[in-house]
Structure 1
Amino acid sequence: MHSLHIPTPLVEPDWLARHLGHPELIILDASWHMPASGRSGKQEWRRQRLPGARFFDFDQDIRDKASSLPHMLPDEAHFAEAVARLGIGNHSRLVIYDSLGIFSAPRAWWMFRAMGHQQVAVLNGGLPGWQRLGLPLEQGEPELPSPTRFQAHRQRHWIADADDVARALSRADCRVLDARSRERFSGEAADPRAGVRPGHMPGALCLPFGELLTADGRLPPPQQLRRQLAPLLSPEHSLICSCGSGVTAAILALAATLAGHEKVAVYDGSWAEWGSTSDRPITLGH
């Protein structure tokens, strides 16, 4: 059988359906829900999933367990060991989805890119889009994957820390985009995490992730994404994407990548870190 090539960081359900069963293809369910929702991505995956999908748990398992911040990117050794347990090798072709459409899957996509794995894509429309087309689903106890080997190579240019953000905020050739709601960005709405101040970084720009999505929870074509991003950044800008805890920031990173931007990073700690660090400046209002 020919080797499978993932053509773009975003694939459509019909493309995935045509390649189901390819030996190099691994489907990952990276569903995660806000703590207040009362939903468990892992429990829902156990009940219903795309055929053969394995659960990618970036909230409890594949994270930096030494950090007090939520679901921070782990080091290379931890990441490599965890994904190898899922049967993922460096030759694997990955398609990642979530149960909301486009929400948490881009976070897992970014993690793989940040660890040097390029053959990885997000399923446009996620589980709801797959279901709307009447494509096959799997129920019951999932099969355990056969462990393999994975070598991770951390790609520093995909990852921003608080110091990177502070430098970017003062540079004309950089942009910091915040994916949170306009109410949280302005400080009109309190942060859902205890001890985290309201507001935003001075000089950051607000682009709520939902404003990029279509009504049915999909990312639009690249030319439309380019039009939506054009008022905020130009192709030569270096971009850092931020949000509440580094999940929806990855939606902006994926959208910018699809639109052709090449210098894109995610601020892993995001507002959970910046807003709880007393010596980091904040501002209120729009």
Structure 2
Amino acid sequence: MPLVPSSLVTTDWLAEHLTDDNLVILDASWFMPSSTRKPQQEWSEKRIPSARYFDFDKKIAEPSTQFPHMLPSPELFEKAVSELGINNDDAVVVYDTHGLFSAPRVWWMFKAMGHKNIAVLDGGFPAWLAGNNPIEKGELAAAEITVYKAAFEPEWVIDADTLESLLDDHSVAVLDARGAARFFGTEPEPRQGVRGGHMPNAKSLPFSQLIKDGFFIDKELLVNRFNAVSDIEQRLIFSCGSGVTACVLALGAELAGRKMLTVYDGSWTEWGSTYKYPVVK
């Protein structure tokens, strides 16, 4: 059984292990609501061999909420992952067609459900293509259904009320992955009815500052980015627009050696549209 060497693997590593037993590859591509691109259609037209499409936006998401792609219950996650043919002892590698954008969301989901052997492909599908690695297209044979069991780890996720109670707690740092203009409220939010600005005491750390040309920046630079906005012993809570790029920060923080990492799943879509929560500009 292959074990991922860390939470981030290279295309060379994946190419070397491509045909290993118990290795599952997931395409977690997702685009902003304003985009006309269709990620599942693109997956069917061109993908890493044997990659299965992981739909965290519509299918593997909590159905009983008004907010987009919220973390599903362990029971829903178990069912969906079992239908993808994934076992608890599988090594899972997740990629997206941006390079590094939505794949860390699925990495975080698996982490929250207790899966240890999970990694994101650095550089994503563009890096895979640039390396002249094999691709496939067309329909993929249905996976043999497994019996996956989640072991939910609640420290990976936080709700809005709990987060609000921690905003003045100096043992916590809230890091916002949105662009600086959205953070400071000088640029309107892309979703209607969502206020501009940020949470009291939150710090701005745009996810784009952790990435260069679709790859994570070097570990030393990652360490410096997080040290600039937080203390090493602080618990880090990550937020963004709708809980996707917050997971880029979570993965980057783990790569930088940080512990106590939590994602605010509802993120600014929930906070900015729920008027009982305070907003600063």
Q: Which amino acid aligns with 2:34?
A: A
Q: Which amino acid aligns with 1:233?
A: S
Aligned twin of 1:241: 238
Matched-pair contact (CA < 8 Å) for 1:235–1:260:
no
Q: SS of 1:121's equivalent?
A: strand
CA RMSD of aligned residues (A): 0.8
Matched-pair contact (CA < 8 Å) for 1:168–1:175:
no
- Give the superposition deviation at 1:221: 2.6
Instruction: Number of aligned residue pairs: give it.
Output: 281
Q: Which amino acid aligns with 1:262?
A: K
Name the TM-score, length of structure 2 as normaliser. 0.98
Q: Does 1:218 align with 2:191?
A: no
Aligned twin of 1:260: 257
Aligned twin of 1:231: 228
Q: Give a deviation string over 1:140-182, Cα, whole Å, max 9, x none.
A: 2222211111001111100011123213310111100000011
Aligned twin of 1:121: 119
Aligned twin of 2:96: 98
Identify which of 64, 68, 71 aligns with 1:70: 68
Q: 1:51-70, aligned counterparts within 5 Å?
A: 51-70=49-68
Q: Which amino acid aligns with 1:60?
A: K
- Give the superposition deviation at 1:103: 0.2
Identify which of 161, 164, 176 aligns with 2:162: 164
Q: Does 1:198 align with 2:164?
A: no
Identify which of 269, 273, 276 aligns with 2:266: 269
Matched-pair contact (CA < 8 Å) for 1:202–1:282:
yes
Q: Which amino acid aligns with 1:114?
A: A
CA distance in 1, matches of 2:58, 2:239: 21
Identify which of 128, 132, 135 aligns with 1:134: 132
Q: Which amino acid aligns with 1:175?
A: A
Q: SS of 2:26's equivalent?
A: strand
- Give the superposition deviation at 1:6: 0.9
- Give the superposition deviation at 1:41: 1.0
Name the TM-score, length of structure 1 as normaliser. 0.97
Q: Which amino acid aligns with 1:265?
A: T
Q: SS of 1:194's equivalent?
A: coil
CA distance in 2, matches of 1:205, 1:268: 17
Q: Does 1:87 align with 2:77?
A: no
- Give the superposition deviation at 1:134: 0.8
CA distance in 2, matches of 1:203, 1:20: 45
Q: Which amino acid aligns with 1:226?
A: V
CA distance in 2, matches of 1:133, 1:161: 41
- The percent of aligned pairs where both chains have the same amino acid is 48
Q: Does 1:251 align with 2:210?
A: no
Q: Give a deviation string over 1:28-72, Cα, whole Å, max 9, x none.
A: 000000010111111100100001000000000000000110000
Aligned twin of 1:18: 16
Gaps of 5+ in 1: none
Q: SS of 2:249's equivalent?
A: helix
Q: Which amino acid aligns with 1:146?
A: E
CA distance in 2, matches of 1:44, 1:261: 35
Gaps of 5+ in 2: none
